[in-house]
Structure 1
Amino acid sequence: MPSVAEFRSKASARPDLHLVKSAADSQEKRFLARGTPAYRRASFALFLSGFSTFSLLYCVQPLMPIFSHDFGVSPAASSLSLSLSTGFLAFAIFCAAAVSERFGRRSLMFASLLGASLCTIACALTPDWNALLVIRALEGFLLGGVPAVAMAYLSEEVDPRGLGASMGLYIAGNAFGGMAGRVVTGMLAEYFSWRLALAGIGLLGIAAAIGFLVLLPPSRNFVARRSDARYHVDAWFGHLNNPALALLFAIGFLMMGAFVTIYNYAGFRLVAAPYDLNQTELGLIFTVYLFGIAASWAAGLLGDRFGHFLVMPAGILIAVAGVAVTLAAPLWAIILGIVLLTVGFFMAHSVASALVGRLARGTKGHASSLYLLGYYLGSSVAGSVGGHFWSADGWWAVVAFTGALLLVSLAAALRARRLAEKA
């Protein structure tokens, strides 16, 4: 067993490692220091995982009007192609967090990305609506092995002084994947078919999964734990008993619910008169995700420098303004509103994700799983409920519903800030 002096000597020869003594266990940990090659590889690998997850998950969103027409289902029913995936993903996050504590992070994330990519290709081949929904549910379950585990990996392996920036880049990958999934499927569906569009996204996901496996450095600070169900339940309830963390979990639910609802039903509004957009034009609107990519990265840097609890409510306020602007009739104003919503959402989400890693005391995978449970339940529940508001009273009702969600999330963010300051 090498001495501490020998360990320091070896580590000093590795510029990609930053030694920090953990207050919790009094052991030195080897963090990935910002600016080193290992840090950049890890950040880009997690970028690819976020890209793949969101492109696979949300590629069906611009296809909902086509599903409604081709399969003869209502707008709310067509949203099940997304809501079932996010709902099962939320449930699977719990399983993934427990499994990753025992078997590690890297291999689980790779298997999840590969399996979900194959499911997307299977969706392209199925002729039956119910079968498509079953495969999408399975795909969501498989994708549960990525988000919470990725956040836990970053929290464990990255120098805390650079965590906001690396988490911001991971969220930027989410944004880029969400954009690519929507834009590519929209264009391919317009010129070829929705089946070819899904097959293309599935192949892109396989390539991203391979790149992720090649680039991601092995865990250095992960310690496998043999545990029973009681251990995991105690860990989850321990995080829920932290009121600031519990409010962050609620913010994930509310923000994601509002964001997905706007994106789900904006398509139904814009393919109808007076806009009459085709699938390519509708898909191109999702290029506003580029603003989300920049916002998530910038929010991570700003949070590290000025304080995460200052940046998060600012992002929520920008999202509220964006939802209000979509009430205007001109197409340019609707797009502007979606841009503002996207910027505000990714600012708040990026910062909230980093805060979960900072505020969690131990078992960071469990804390991440609770945040993402709320996050994806918001997508699943609010995304479907919003369809009833759309059917009942059109876009005004959708804006009222999502605006209420965002205002409650703002109140939660301000309360969480006060609680964290007291702590």
Structure 2
Amino acid sequence: MSLPTKSTIREARFWRIIIGLGIASVFIFAAMYAMQPLLPILTKQFGVSVATASLTMSINTIGLIIGLIILGFYSDRLGRSVFVKTSILLTALLFIPMFLTHSFAVILALRFLQGFVMAGVLAAALAYINEEIHGRVVSMATALYISFNSTGGMFGRFVTGYIAERWSWELSLQLLGIIGVVVFFMLLFVLPKSTNFQPSTETIRKDMEGFGFHLKNPALLIVFGLGIVLQLCFTGMWTFLPFHLTASPFLLTLDEISYIYFAYAFGIIGAPLAGVLAAKYGLRKVRLIAIVLLMAGCLITIPMKLPLIVIGYCVICLGFFSAHSLTAASVSKEVTHHKGSASSLYLVSYYVGMAAGSTLTSPLWEVAGWTGLTLFSASVPIVYVLLIRLRQRKLGVAH
């Protein structure tokens, strides 16, 4: 029996898929980054250090990484839309005990569980798009989906930062929980059921062999490493921004700081623009320019001048999301089979970088302050790229 025809841009089903996955990803990324603006409040509320407070981000990411691997296997066998919908509902419900508890340890445990269930959307979304959307427009559908990802990160940071300062951090989490339940009911009506899904007949052991195959590929390891480095520096810059701006000489409130998160808009336009330029001038060349922009944005924020910090973060977002989208696109260019597991490994490396940027940069912040953090974030990605190029040139590998 032949499978149903895949959806094109002229069909309502195409837009139902994009809107459904889009609002799902907005909520997931909003929930993922919700705690970042709240870190200064958490340090005071629970009497914990900056490094301990930042665990609310990194422990969530660790749960997400584990979930990506485990739920990715089951999504290949049980379907896509069911994982998306269940992921949204569970993520929303986990906010309830989070704002009711008086124990920071309980919050960390809940954030770990929340990260695990969040992975249901991320593990299924791109596979769902590739199965249900026609090949001629699948790239456009993917770019739209990634733009929703960026919107979610911006939305989550703004909402929690603004509401926590005006009212309370507990209220900001209550609102996110309510939004999540609303999104779940919207998905019941908007997101179509899979019609082209074919359950995998491979054993999980075979899937694991695919992971092992990719981890022996030097070209892919370089790409995965770049994913870690980019996200580590980007997350580090955002994690400690509230601490920097609530201190002297700025003395800003969290709701005032929350407006800076609109810098993410430059990432929303940067990713598709980078794709267009890469098609014309080459992926590696455009990616290098994007990494230089990321470096420049970090350096711009060093002077103690608020306008320069705002401009710097706009440049950071433009450079980071452009470099990230091109690095993710290069994964499929480096492999001929097991492309799904290669993409999963890139996502894992990306979120390893997020966990590292949330917590491992804390000692650097405490010892060297804002200048040390920005110099580190500016130098590591460009140094990584230059070292790889020198290594490849020494081995006579074309680049």
- Cα offset, 1:162, TM superposition: 3.2
- Cα offset, 1:108, TM superposition: 1.0
Q: Which moved more, 1:117-126 or 1:371-380?
A: 117-126
For 1:334 and 1:198, the matched residues in 2 are separated by: 28
Which structure 2 residue ranges, 5 or more long, are not aligned?
Answer: none
Matches within 5 A, 1:161-240: 161-240=136-215
Match of 2:309 in 1: 334
- Cα offset, 1:104, TM superposition: 1.5
For 1:212 and 1:41, the matched residues in 2 are separated by: 9
For 2:51 and 2:186, the matched residues in 1 are separated by: 36
For 1:301 and 1:311, the matched residues in 2 are separated by: 10
Matches within 5 A, 1:48-59: 48-59=23-34
Kept after mapping to 2: 8 A contact 1:151/1:353: no
User: Partner of 2:287: helix, strand, or coil?
Assistant: helix
Match of 2:22 in 1: 47
For 1:162 and 1:412, the matched residues in 2 are separated by: 37
User: Partner of 1:91: helix, strand, or coil?
Assistant: helix
Match of 2:256 in 1: 281
For 2:387 and 2:14, the matched residues in 1 are separated by: 33
User: Partner of 2:299: helix, strand, or coil?
Assistant: helix
Q: 1:60 aligns with which of 31, 35, 42?
A: 35
Kept after mapping to 2: 8 A contact 1:319/1:342: yes
Kept after mapping to 2: 8 A contact 1:62/1:182: yes
RMSD over aligned Cα, in angstroms?
2.7
User: Partner of 2:360: helix, strand, or coil?
Assistant: helix
Q: Does 1:241 align with 2:216?
A: yes
For 1:81 and 1:408, the matched residues in 2 are separated by: 29
Matched to 1:254, the amino acid is V
Kept after mapping to 1: 8 A contact 2:298/2:375: no
Matches within 5 A, 1:331-410: 331-357=306-332, 359-410=334-385
After superposition, give the CA deviation of every residue in 1:352-385 in whole Å (9 maximum; x if it has no partner): 3333345544444322221111011111123211
Match of 1:112 in 2: 87
- Relative to structure 1, the CA distance from residue 174 to residue 409 in structure 2 (aligned partners, 3 Å threshold; closer, same or farther) is farther
User: Partner of 1:222: helix, strand, or coil?
Assistant: coil
- Cα offset, 1:306, TM superposition: 5.2
- Cα offset, 1:83, TM superposition: 0.8
Match of 1:100 in 2: 75
Kept after mapping to 2: 8 A contact 1:163/1:354: no
Match of 1:87 in 2: 62
Which structure 1 residue ranges, 5 or more long, are not aligned?
Answer: 12-16, 18-29
Matched to 1:56, the amino acid is A
Kept after mapping to 2: 8 A contact 1:96/1:144: yes
Kept after mapping to 2: 8 A contact 1:51/1:177: yes
Matched to 2:295, the amino acid is V
Match of 1:27 in 2: none
TM-score (norm 2): 0.91
Runs of 4+ in 1 over 6 A off after TM superposition: 412-419
Matched to 1:131, the amino acid is V
For 2:192 and 2:51, the matched residues in 1 are separated by: 42
After superposition, give the CA deviation of every residue in 1:399-419 in whole Å (9 maximum; x if it has no partner): 132223321453488699999
Kept after mapping to 2: 8 A contact 1:96/1:145: yes
- Relative to structure 1, the CA distance from residue 170 to residue 413 in structure 2 (aligned partners, 3 Å threshold; closer, same or farther) is farther
After superposition, give the CA deviation of every residue in 1:85-142 in whole Å (9 maximum; x if it has no partner): 0111112111011111111221112211211111123211111111111101110111
Kept after mapping to 2: 8 A contact 1:271/1:278: yes
For 2:256 and 2:329, the matched residues in 1 are separated by: 35
Matches within 5 A, 1:404-423: 404-411=379-386
TM-score (norm 1): 0.86
- Relative to structure 1, the CA distance from residue 49 to residue 246 in structure 2 (aligned partners, 3 Å threshold; closer, same or farther) is farther
Match of 2:107 in 1: 132
Q: Percent identity?
A: 32
